[in-house]
Structures are given as C-alpha cells and as structure tokens.
Amino acid sequence: MFEDVFYQVGIVLAVAAAGGALALALRQPLIVAFIAVGILLGPTGTGWVTAADELDLFARLGIAVLLFVVGLKLDLHIIRTMGTVALATGLGQVLFTSVVGYLLALAMGITPVAALYVAIALTFSSTIIIVKLLSDKREVDSLHGRIAIGFLIVQDIVVVLVMIGLAAMGQADDVTSLGREALLVLAKGALMLAVLGLLMRFVLGDLLHRLARSQELLVLFAIAWAVLWASVGERLGFSKEVGAFLAGISIASTPYRELIGARLVSLRDFLLLFFFVDLGAGLDLDALGANLLPAAMLSLFVLVGNPLIVMVIMGAMGYRKRTGFLAGLTVAQISEFSLILAALGLSIGHIDEDTVGLITLVGLVTISISTYMILYSHRLYDRLSPWLGIFERRVAYREEDGEEHDGGYDVVLVGLGRFGAGIGRALRGRACRLLAVDFDPELVRRHAQEGYATHYGDAEDPEFINTLPLEQVRWVVSTIRQREINRALLQTLRQRGYQGKVALSGETGEEAEVLRGFGADMVLIPYADAAREAADRLMAADPAACDLHPDGPDQK
C-alpha cells in the first residue's frame, strides 16, 4: 500500500504514538503496545509496512545504544563486586532451565534434537526488554537491578557460545574441526578485551577530555563508539549486545559518563520503539495455532521455574528474599536470541517450522506476561512475601555487610541523589547524627567512605524499614519523588509506631498537597526550595536591594 520507506516509517511512528497513548490510558505497558503495533502493521496484519530491512537497522541501532548506556553505569568496581552472584545465578539458571526444559520437551513427544533446541531457547532471557523495563522503573542502579543485568550479560555470553557451537556442528565434519572453532572463539574474545583495555588505559581518557569541549561532538563520539564496538562484537562472532556493553564499560570510569548517559536516553527510547515493532512484525501467527497447549505448558515453566531457581541461588548466597524475588522476575521470559536460535536451527536443518512456531509462541506469551510481572513486581512481592521466607537465610549477610548501627540518630535520610546528598552535607554540617539510606549500592559505598553512617535498602520494602533504628529519630526525610514509594514509606512508618516527623519530596505544589494529605509533616520541592534559598541568600547579603521601588515591582 505504501511503497515509500519514508511513508512507512511515518505510519509506524503515528500508529505507535496512538497505540502508546491508548496503552497509557489503559495503564498497560508500552512494550506490549509496540509489539501489537508490529503485528498490526506487519505481514500477518495489514501488511502496510514492508520495509523490514530499514526497521531492522533502526532496531539494531537501538539495541547498541541501550546496551552502551547500561555499560556506562557499570564501572569496573561494580563488576568486581557483582561478578560472583552474576556468575552463580546466570550459570545456575542456564543449567536448571536447560535440563528441566529438555525433559519437559521430551515428555511432550518432541524429538531429542528439537527438544535440545527448545530447552536452550527457554534458557535465555531478553537483556534488551529487561533493561528497558528496569530503566523505566529507575531500578537499573538498585542492587537487584545490577545483579539482574550481571547475570543477563552472563547469559548473553553463554548463548553466543552455544550458537557458535551449534553453527560449528552444522558445518564441522569432525570433532577436531569443532575444537578448532571453540579455540578460535576464545582467542577472539581475549583479543577484543585486550584491545579495549589498552584503549581505556592509554587513549580514551585524554581523547574524551579533548572532545568534551563540545557536548555535541562528545555525544556523537559516544554513539559512534557504541555502534563501532557493537559491529566488532558481531563481526568476531559474539553479538552486538556484548560489543556495545563493553564499549559502555570502557567509558564508565571517566567523568563524562553521566553527561553522555543523560543525553542518550531519548535517542535510546526512540530507536528501541523500532525493535519492539520489528519483533511484532516478525511473528508468524499462522504457524502458532497448532502449538497452543505445548506453548502454554512451556510458558508456565519459564514464568515460574526461572524466577524460582534464581531465588534459590540468591537465597543460598545470603541475599534477602526481596532482592532475590525482584531479580528473579527478570528471567521470566525468553529472549530475542531464542528466536534467532530457532532460525539458525531451521537453516541448518536440525528443526522444522513447527518447532520454530512453538518457540515463537512461547516468546510472545512470556514476553507479554513477564512485562506485567516486572512492572508490578513490588505489588507482587507484597502479596507473596509471607510465603517467600524459605528463600532467605536467617541472616541475609550479603546485604548486612558493614551495616552495624548502634542507634541514636537524629535524622534518617532516604535517597542519596544530588538533592539528598546536599541535604546530608547540610545536616552533618549542623552536627546532626545522620543515617543515610539508598538502594544504589555504589552510592552507599561512596558515602560510607566519606564518613556517613549508611544503610543499603529500598524505601518501598516494609521489611527493610522495620530494620532501621528509629527509636530516637526525630525526622525521617525522603528525597525520593515517586508518590507511591513515599506513600508506602509513610504507611510503614505509621504501622511500626514511629512517633517522629516525616518529610517527603514532590515535584510540584499540587504534589505537595497530595503528600500532606497522606500525612507528611513537611513536603520538600527540590527546585522551588533551592530557588527560595538562593533568593533568601541574596536578600541576606544585601537587605536593601529591593527597597529602591517601594511602590512595587516595575513601578515608574
């Protein structure tokens, strides 16, 4: 109907905007809406959009930018601290899902080779979708967010190795050839890391310093760097996700990562729209109908089994049940890699179109349902927490390290972002005994090094609030500006019997009235309060400055 690519892209954007607005009005996830737009406009729907190559290009650019931004947030210290749990949960979940999934597939009457492909496809979760959801919820920097991203990257590396191995099996004539392919992969990976490490050590710091004279040029370089290394990763037989992620890590230790990350967020969201539309457009609905019952059973296994094994591993390692639950929900779907794996198996001749249709249907079901599970993860936890105690040690020592407090605090400050850190400095300057709380382990570590009494935790977690030493606290101050989190914090404090005062933060005067209605003793509005303080300081420095016009402003 529309042959011009420009028109087709315009149609995609217009329908996606309308679908997104409808989803927003119905309080549905935008990701599901965009996948539905792809189905509507693709070959199985209206067929209006046929520019698959162009949409795929935009989608691939979006993937590169997304993983680059994620890499920006993970400096080498965080990788070292998260490495053990990421490796344990990533490999443990892969092993559990592949073994049980294979047995389930055999029990359904699927042939052994096809069952192997199905089992592997069930194993891997979508880094792209999960990171997007965590970013939207502002949980990428939380402990469970960092752990989830860590084991997802482990999964990505494993799936790349599996795909290379399967491709080699399809091409290799003997075991010797297969071993040669494996050694070649290891050599390429070592070379890639070595080159990137040398560039980080001797080139990137000075280069970024020079480019930073122009913010536009700095951002352009960042995009080019992300796409370049995504291309290198794919060219070497890994994936564009791994390459772009490593590119982000290479800049994460520089002072420019915050600026670059902030400037790329809008571009990331725009380009990822095409990924989800392209994903929906690529679904062959005609091949899905015959696999409804097997797909339902395998989807249930992924939605329940994958989170459970993550919770078991994290609980055994000493993490709280809440951290394990929130991290576990991120693996309750299969990945776009699973669809690529199915296509690879079809091209090699290992599986048929029915198996591809089964994997595709499981992907559609699990991606859609898990999106809701992740978006409403905190509500799910509130309902299920009484039954999750078996996944937690008596002492969750991984989240208690370095948190020995003897009480006697005047103020508990929740949130160590810019606004919170500023309040913390001011209160400490007035000799207040302060306990600082945040769910970003890196901020907690940094402020602990500066001499703060710190505590890691999430203000929305009632069990965490109950661990705080509130007996002598006069003020609990929240610098978080999400209304529901503040409401949950206030309710938990009141239920515990806290007798002190509570200050919450909002964005506007209207928000302040809502928070006062919840029962807040004081409401802080960061930008407005800072403006008033600046005006007060100006008047304190020159009290007569505004006495020149006694009849009022602009009077002549």
What average pLDDT does this structure show over 467-491? 86
What average pLDDT does this structure show over 52-57? 84
- Total-model pTM: 0.68
pLDDT for the residue 176: 59
* 177-224 pLDDT, tens digit each: 656 766 777 788 788 889 998 998 899 988 998 888 888 899 999 999
What average pLDDT does this structure show over 28-43? 83
Residue owning tokens 């939605």: 303
Tell me the C-alpha distance between 406 and 233, whole Å: 50
Residue 452's alpha-carbon distances to 87, 424, 425, 445, 478, in angstroms, are 31, 9, 10, 10, 17
- What is the Cα Rg of the chain in Å? 26
* 339-385 pLDDT, tens digit each: 767 877 877 788 887 888 888 889 888 988 998 899 888 889 888 88
Retrieve residue 540's tokens: 């304190």
* 295-339 pLDDT, tens digit each: 999 999 999 999 999 999 998 888 888 889 999 999 898 876 787
What are the DSSP calls for 305-361, one per residue? HHHHHHHHHHHHTT--HHHHHHHHGGGSS--HHHHHHHHHHHHHTSS-HHHHHHHHH
pLDDT for the residue 543: 72
Find the range with the poorest average confidence among 46-55, 222-231, 374-383: 46-55
Average pLDDT, rounded, for the chain: 82
pLDDT for the residue 426: 87
pLDDT for the residue 549: 53
Are 414 and 440 in contact, with CB atoms under 8 Å apart? no
- pLDDT score of 101 more than 90: yes
126 — phi, psi (to 5°)? -85, 105
Tell me the C-alpha distance between 299 and 278, whole Å: 22
What average pLDDT does this structure show over 445-469? 79
- pLDDT score of 440 more than 90: no
Find the range with the poorest average confidence among 307-316, 317-326, 476-485, 542-551: 542-551
What average pLDDT does this structure show over 381-407? 70
pLDDT for the residue 432: 86
Q: Predicted confidence band at 555 (pLDDT cuts at 50, 70, 90)? A: very low
Instruction: Give the long-range contacts of residues 420-427, CB within 8 A, separation 24 or more.
Output: 420/479, 421/447, 423/477, 423/479, 424/452
pLDDT for the residue 104: 93
- pLDDT score of 36 more than 50: yes
Q: Predicted confidence band at 403 (pLDDT cuts at 50, 70, 90)? A: very low
pLDDT for the residue 312: 93
- pLDDT score of 76 more than 80: no
